[in-house]
Structure 1
Amino acid sequence: MLKTTLRNYYAEQIYHKLEQSKSALKKEFTTENRINTCYLDDLLNVDDVLDIYNAFPEKENLLQLKDLREYKYVGIQLDKYNPILEEIIYAFQDTRVVKLIAEITGIEQLMPDEYLYAGGVSLMEYGCFLNPHLDNSHDKDINNYRVLNLLYYVTPDWQENYGGNLELWDQGLKQPCRTIHSKFNRLVIMVTNRNSLHSVSPINYHARRCCVSNYYFSPTPAEEINYYHVTSFRGRPEQNLRDIVLRGDASLRNLVRKVFKNSIKKPHFYRKS
């Protein structure tokens, strides 16, 4: 297939699958007293998902992020990788798909991000994790609010007990989290705002968990109040010392960003040639 044809082919599948489940997804997303989320299984034809998974680069060709906050591998400069990855990522930015997701979530003026700021592909293996955090509130130029996170999981036969699952801290860190299994061929749609505290459980299995991610933005936040913050991490409930360190780290970075708002380097976006 030509690149544009492949992108459209993926987008057609995504659109029709979402359309078939539109009412159920809308009801699930708007459930009260929790972080707004919904998910859809069997998004693409199985053979297509396997092609996407097999196109993932080895971890040596990705950027490793490893510290107290997280341990994972990410890829953003997509022209370095198999072109299939760029096509599936931008299929989620198809106008029809974005419009339909706006209808499902009730969030108006949705805009995809062609520069994939903090999006792209990610790979996690044994020992990887992502501590509880709030996503950066804005796009790379601090013009629009980040309002939705789309996570598409593509690892075959990934079992829930392997870890690497999405954790949603609906009532904060003092209450148990809600877990969404990072199941093969599953798309998760999650709101991002001041309260969407989420994490990825540590992986305890020797295999790679691969994910395709997109963020959507809007001129207005996904709630009634305006706000601004950098990506802000916390320790898990049992990580008291780490929590103190990470809260201090987030406060300092928020202060620095507010003072030097327009002069901070923004490295994690797709530099298209």
Structure 2
Amino acid sequence: MINYELLESRIDEYAQKFREAKPHRHLIIDGFLDPEVAMQAYQVFPKMEEMDKLKDIRQYKAQDPDISKFDPIFSKIIFEHLQSQRLLQILTKITDIPNLYADPKLYASGLAQGTNGSFLNVHIDNSSHPAEPWYRRLNILVYLNPNWTEEKGGHLELWSPDMSESVAILPIFNRMMLFATDKQSWHGHRRVNTPDGDTRKSINIYYFTEESPDGTDYYHVTSFRGRKNEVVNKVLYPVDNLVRTIVRTIRPKKDAHAVLYERDKND
């Protein structure tokens, strides 16, 4: 289902691109899934109303780890391929991050979708797994959007920590985006502009290690930051980040509210 031959034949090239990418480490690969698999996944992708939604001052999108509700092709793509030992070995060679774990509980993973007006403001991800002693290290996004255009927006943005430098990646069909997740990996996506009813569809997977990215023990919540022209967000988000950090820190289990996928033993 994954184009393993492409990945394995270009590992050295991909490793250099990942290492040298700005504003922080990332890699774009087009034609990541077999074309017929990508098209099948697109054709059976659930509707927005069938997925859990997040809508607040930080984001408006659907994100759902409970892939048992959806077509079996998504379980096959995720558990048999995106979490396969073969892919984990490839990712380690590309990123130079050893001992990667795939997450069977799909924390903050699964399927994601954005309709007209959806957005995800600039942030760094929560540092840790809620049920395991793991740190987030890598994020893979596989986009399933035929006929996506610049006008439809929804570009994934990667930002430098001082918000002075950024890149924008169009979420076109069968494009895979890989980036490191750490204290510096600020990212988000632009507002989706699809009055025609189209939606921004993706498969989203995180990978973890027991060791933190910088070798120290730390914890932070998903923390948002305003762009230069977002005057209100630049004032509001630091307060919001601080309040959520305090609340989580005093809990016995910081992220016990997280939605996790419980896979059926018969799957």
| Alignment TM class, shorter chain as reference | over 0.9
Ranges in structure 1 where 5+ consecutive residues have no aligned partner = 1-9
Is the Cα–Cα contact under 8 Å of residues 124 and 187 in structure 2 kept in the other structure? Answer: yes
Partner of 1:220: 211
Give runs of aligned pairs for residues 176-215 of structure 1, distance below 5 A: 176-206=165-195, 207-215=198-206
Please give the per-residue CA displacement for 1:2-56, whole angstroms capped at 9, x wherever unaligned: xxxxxxxx2xx34222112211210111016631101111112322111011121
Is the Cα–Cα contact under 8 Å of residues 122 and 212 in structure 1 kept in the other structure? Answer: yes
- Pair 1:24-2:35 in alignment: no
Return closer, same or farther for 1:25/1:246 CA change in 2, 3 Å cut-off: same
Cα distance in structure 1, aligned partners of 2:136 and 2:31: 26
Identical columns (%)? 31
User: TM-score, normalised on structure 2?
Assistant: 0.93
User: TM-score, normalised on structure 1?
Assistant: 0.91
Return closer, same or farther for 1:101/1:236 CA change in 2, 3 Å cut-off: same
SS at 2:212 equivalent: coil
Tell me the CA shift for residue 223 of structure 1.
2.5
Give runs of aligned pairs for residues 165-180 of structure 1, distance below 5 A: 165-173=155-163, 175-180=164-169
- Pair 1:95-2:88 in alignment: no
Partner of 2:42: 53
RMSD over aligned Cα, in angstroms? 1.6
Partner of 1:258: 249
Is the Cα–Cα contact under 8 Å of residues 130 and 258 in structure 2 kept in the other structure? Answer: no
Cα distance in structure 2, aligned partners of 1:263 and 1:48: 38
Please give the per-residue CA displacement for 1:43-83, whole angstroms capped at 9, x wherever unaligned: 12322111011121111111111111000012211111111
- Pair 1:113-2:113 in alignment: no
Corresponding residue to 1:147 among 129, 137, 156: 137
Runs of 4+ with deviation above 4 angstroms: none
Tell me the CA shift for residue 263 of structure 1.
5.8
Return closer, same or farther for 1:32/1:78 CA change in 2, 3 Å cut-off: closer
Is the Cα–Cα contact under 8 Å of residues 8 and 90 in structure 2 kept in the other structure? Answer: yes
Cα distance in structure 2, aligned partners of 1:135 and 1:240: 22
SS at 1:102 equivalent: helix
SS at 1:193 equivalent: coil
Return closer, same or farther for 1:17/1:140 CA change in 2, 3 Å cut-off: farther
Cα distance in structure 2, aligned partners of 1:109 and 1:58: 36
Ranges in structure 2 where 5+ consecutive residues have no aligned partner = none
Cα distance in structure 2, aligned partners of 1:161 and 1:103: 36
Cα distance in structure 1, aligned partners of 2:22 and 2:30: 24
SS at 2:4 equivalent: helix
Please give the per-residue CA displacement for 1:156-185, whole angstroms capped at 9, x wherever unaligned: 121233211110002532x14211221211
Partner of 2:116: 126
Cα distance in structure 2, aligned partners of 1:261 and 1:39: 39
- Pair 1:79-2:68 in alignment: yes
Return closer, same or farther for 1:153/1:263 CA change in 2, 3 Å cut-off: closer
Return closer, same or farther for 1:171/1:248 CA change in 2, 3 Å cut-off: closer
Is the Cα–Cα contact under 8 Å of residues 71 and 128 in structure 1 kept in the other structure? Answer: yes
Return closer, same or farther for 1:210/1:131 CA change in 2, 3 Å cut-off: same
Cα distance in structure 2, aligned partners of 1:148 and 1:261: 26
